[in-house]
Each structure stands twice: as structure tokens, then as C-alpha cells.
Amino acid sequence: MRDPECRISEPALNFPSRLAALAMSSHETDLLSTLKWTSDGLIPAIVQDAESHEVLMMAWMNVEALRQTLATGQTHFYSRSRRAAWHKGGTSGHVQHVESVQIDCDADVVLIKARQVGGACHEGYHSCFFRRLNPDGTLEIIDSPVFEKTSVYGTQPEAHSPTGRSE
């Protein structure tokens, strides 16, 4: 049942047709002021496949990354370890085409529904959530890679990781 106090979330915008108008309007200012940014000026962003609803990844956004996402229709994030913005798929070509953006009831998390090209994970998987914790405490890989990371990133994939390190 939906919480009646949880009214911050609006129906998802139709990004392909309304993106540029939002990115250059007072609605962008309203959106940015509605969000509850961390003390570091960041907000967690969950990316979900627009069709299957599978969670693809979680990354951080700063104001500029969210603005770039709104302006281009592709996801942009902020790397806390590198202290730099990055465009998802900028190196690999595995971009995310934004279909909608939603805000949770506390306005402290952004949910992006996107069409993923290739894999979302720099490890070569469709989703970054390719490992499952089993009841015995072991981790199990539950997916197959959709690309070979060394063929996309070379011999140093950690240089292209959002965190700057290989897992």
C-alpha cells in the first residue's frame, strides 16, 4: 500500500521528449532544491532497466552529473574516489539512455530507469549485482558476462572503473 505521506515522487518524466526543456527551465531548479543532497553534495542514484526492472547499478551523482544526465539523456555520475564526473559508457560505449527519473519519498535517492546498451558493470556483466550471497556465507556468480572486460578496457580495467580500482 502506498504511504499517503510519501508525495514527493512524481510520475516519471518522459525523458526522450521533455528532457531538454526540463534541463533549461525553472523545473530543474525545483528538482535540485527538492533533493536532499549529502553534506558532500551527492545523492545516490539507482539505475534500473526500463523494461525488465532489473537493478543495473548504483552510483553517486552531484548536481553537475544530474544536470548532464538531464541535458544529454544519458547517465552521468560522480566518482568519490577520483573526485571527478564520468559519463556511463564514455569509454566502453555501454551507455544508458534515460527513460525516466523518479525520486523516493524522502527525496534522498534518485531512481533512473534506462535502456542499457551492452553491460552496466565494468566487470563485463549486464548488472553490477551479479553476485549472490548464499546462506552458507559464500558468494556465487549468478550471471554470465556480456562482454570481455579486457577487450573493452585493455589490461587495466581498474583505470576505467567508476571507483578507480578493480574488484
d(CA 141, CA 130): 6
Question: What does the radius of gyration of the chain's CA atoms come to, in whole angstroms?
Answer: 17
**Has 104 been labeled as part of a binding site?**
yes
State the DSSP H helix or E strand holding residue 71, giving kind and residue range, or none if neither. helix 63-72
**Has 6 been labeled as part of a binding site?**
no
Per-residue CA distances from 25 to 18, 29, 30, 82, 166 (Å): 11, 7, 9, 31, 39
Q: What is the largest CA-CA distance in the chain?
A: 52
Give the Cβ contact number of residue 78 at 10 Å: 23
**Has 128 been labeled as part of a binding site?**
yes
**Has 106 been labeled as part of a binding site?**
yes
d(CA 12, CA 35): 15
Q: Does residue 14 sit in helix, strand or coil?
A: coil
**Has 3 been labeled as part of a binding site?**
no
**Has 105 been labeled as part of a binding site?**
yes
Annotated binding site for Mg(2+): 104, 106, 108
Annotated binding site: 104-106, 108, 121, 128
Annotated binding site for Zn(2+): 105, 121, 128
